Structure 1
Amino acid sequence: MQKAKQLSDIINKFFTLFVLLIVLIALFLPKPGTLIATTKVGNLSAVSILLMIVLFGMGITLTPADFKRVAQKPVQALMGTVAHYVIMPFLAFLLVHLFGLTGAAAVGVILVGSAPSGTASNVMSFLAGGDVALDVSIGLLSTLLAPFMLPLLLKMLAGKWVDVPFQSMFLSAFEIVVIPVALGLTVHMVFQKHVQKIINVMPLVSQVMIVLIILAVLSANSKTILAVSTLALIPIVMLHNLLGYLFGFLFAKLLKMDTAQQKAITFEVGMQDSALASTLAISFFEPASAISAVIFSVWHNISGSVLASIWKNH
């Protein structure tokens, strides 16, 4: 278990470099990733199963104390969740119209904006000296609300470009998100004396699963990834993330939260669960609509690390 933790720490430290390596593999050796993207196990795609493993890992780290924490600080957690589901979706909507995006590109940007907060935000908040308990609470609430909020926001903001199957997407998101989290929580509660070994290895498992998801999405789009229209998404995705940080910070400042809470809200608003966004994109829309999520996955780890470092040192 100690070796697994050490390997996990190494991957976490150099995660962005690993992702860039995966990008090269997907571009020049797309066959393995394409096989993952097209494989199905029953009604579930292999990519969905990979994400379910990640969310099971999230669930197994939870305890009733985490839910108690939400109940003890309901206002901050609720306001942070509201900020996340207001700021990022509507920033995506504005950027799509500002840059004249249409079709799969527009759907992809809005899909990322409508996703719950990413688990990487917890790490960034910890490194920056933020309120990690608040961060975890917002992440938990936004994730549990995702099956309803994600298809609703997508229907509202991207309905002109694509037919959003609300019921199917709700059921799929519930199956992919809520059930694994609930199962992980249940396992923790039932086997709490023996579960620590699993908890220690889950970060490594989750990191590997996320890398495989990125590989699958990029490989499925390997022929179009270097197109001008795709490369044009990079500055839009970067701007989306950075504006999310800015407005998240200003929102917390406006509510007169303390410094640690401001940091937590900033990361919770600006960092998205891009793995979920890419998984749903592949399942329900054109594969190209998943590209924004992959770009976001790479970029927000870079920007989050830089921001956490700045806050830590100042």
Structure 2
Amino acid sequence: MNKLQALNTWMTPKMPLLILGALALGLLFPDQIGLLCPAVSALMMFQTFANSLGSSVQDLGRVLSHPKPVLITMLSLHLLMPLAALGIGSMCFPDQPLYTLSLVLMEGSPAAVSSLMWIVIGGGSVELCLSIILLDTMLSPVILPLTLRLLCGSVVELDTLGMIRDLFVMIVVPAALAMVLCRLLGQSICAKAKQRLSPFSKLALLVIICANVTRCAPFLHELNRELVLLLCITLAMRLIGLGLGFLLSTLFRFPYPVELTVTVNSSMRNNAAAATLAAQYFPSEVVFSPSVSPLFSQLTSSLAVRALQKRQQKIDHPAS
């Protein structure tokens, strides 16, 4: 147990570097790493289950008592950001609609469970974060396919039912199973199990990223201006998400814990699931943005949390 805790403690602050390493491995050794692709769906199920342990139906119930921050975050996640992705993609890639689809898929995916780590580090509202993640996870089989059909239905033929089925199996079923176990066994037991599984969950995420990005290898070997632009836009979308979340929090005058939570959750996405769907249902061009987005998510969120913490410290302790 101590060794697992030590491994988890070591991995947590180094996740951006570990994700970068996973991306590099997948791009450098696509044939070898590609052998792991059949296991990605199972790893996705395990990661969702492990990260959902300790959550309960009561966490979802709290959404009803404090709906405004949740609704604001969902508005940012699933309306404003997908529309921004569509607009920016259409403007920058008028002749490459698959790149636009890649951006919309990235922005249509559900909130990232890993955002909880930054909420805890920054002193945000864990309860609100769990509510957002659980609600978004349960709705993802409807929201993501609907977003793609409405915004990009003319780009490629969509297997909507297939995507709904896979999202249900990869995300909803393991999350629901974790909540049922939490109800049966108690939160304390599930919280301990989550702690023990945490390093394995992070390893699963790295393998998922590594395997999914192998489909991008042929494009990076012939790196062109459009692909570099797509990389820059992928980074910009993470920054736009953070900025939008902060702006909405400021407009509604949320207290610091809620402000931090809405800001981070407006940007961080479960792009491992999006990249897995892209690899199964779309041409390889669509895989690129969701595959590299986790790296930018971790980097930008860590910087945003530090900036918001410093800002709050100045408010709490103004210089005399």
8 Å contact 2:72–2:248 — kept in the other structure? no
Alignment partner of 1:262: what SS? helix
CA distance in 2, matches of 1:197, 1:247: 35
Residues 116, 142 of structure 1: 8 Å contact kept: yes
CA distance in 1, matches of 2:303, 2:252: 25
Alpha-carbon shift at residue 217 of structure 1 (Å): 1.3
Cα distance between partner residues in 2 of 1:50 and 1:256: 40
TM-score (norm 1): 0.92
User: Which position in structure 2 is the counterpart of 1:311?
Assistant: 308
- Which residue of 293, 298, 301 corresponds with 2:295? 298
1:103 aligns with 2:109: no
Tell me the distance in 2 between the aligned counterparts of 1:188 and 1:2. 23
Q: Are the aligned partners of 2:242 and 2:267 in contact in 1 as well (CA < 8 Å)?
A: yes
1:196 Cα deviation after fit? 4.5
Report deviation, 1:68: 3.5
The normalised TM-score by structure 2 is 0.90
Determine whether 1:175 maps to 2:169: yes
Number of the residue aligned with 2:205:
210
AA in 2 matched with 1:282: A
SS in 2 for 1:160: coil
User: Counterparts of 1:196 and 1:139 in 2: how far apart (Å)?
Assistant: 17
Distance 1:252 1:117, change over 3 A: same
Offset of 1:30 from its aligned partner? 2.2
Contact 2:215 / 2:287 at 8 angstroms: preserved in 1? no
Residues 62-86 of structure 1: CA distance to partner in whole angstroms, max 9, x if unpaired?
1243233323323332332233211
Cα offsets for 1:260-312 (capped at 9, x unmatched):
21211111111111111101101111133111012111111001111111222
| Residue among 60, 81, 88 paired with 2:81 | 88
Taking the aligned partners of 2:191 and 2:239, their CA distance within structure 1 comes to: 36
Q: Which runs of 5+ in 1 are unaligned?
A: 40-45
For 2:8 and 2:267, the matched residues in 1 are separated by: 24
**1:220 and 2:193 are equivalent in the alignment:** no
The count of corresponding residues between Structure 1 and Structure 2 is 307
| 1: CA distance, partners of 2:283 / 2:103 | 13
Identity of aligned residues (%): 23
One-letter amino acid matched to 1:278? A
1:218–1:225 Cα contact (<8 Å) kept: no
Whether contact under 8 Å (1:225, 1:231) holds in the other structure is no
